Amino acid sequence: MIPGRVFVTGTDTDVGKSVICAAIKAADPGRVALKPVATGGDADAKLIGSPIGVSLKEPLSPHRAAELEGTRISLTEVVAWIRKHQGDRCVVEGVGGWRVPLDWDHDVSDLAAVLGWPVLVVAADRLGCLSHTRLTVDAIRGRGLRVCGVVLNRRSPDHSSEHNLDDLERLLDVPVRAFPHLDWILDPVLAEAGTTLF
Specify whether the CB–CB gap between 21 and 184 falls below 8 A: no
Q: Is 35 a catalytic residue?
A: yes
Catalytic residue among 17, 35, 46, 84: 35
pLDDT value at position 182?
A: 44
**H/E run at residue 153:** strand 147-154
pLDDT value at position 17?
A: 95
Q: Which of 60, 53, 22 is nearest to 35 (CA)?
A: 53
Q: What are the residue ranges in the chain where pLDDT is below 70? A: 181-198
Q: How many CB atoms lie within 10 A of CB 153?
A: 26
* CATH architecture entry for 5-32+89-195: 3-Layer(aba) Sandwich (3.40)
pTM for this structure? 0.90
Specify whether the CB–CB gap between 103 and 61 falls below 8 A: no
Q: CA 86 to CA 5: how far, in whole Å? A: 9
Q: CA 113 to CA 44: how far, in whole Å? A: 23
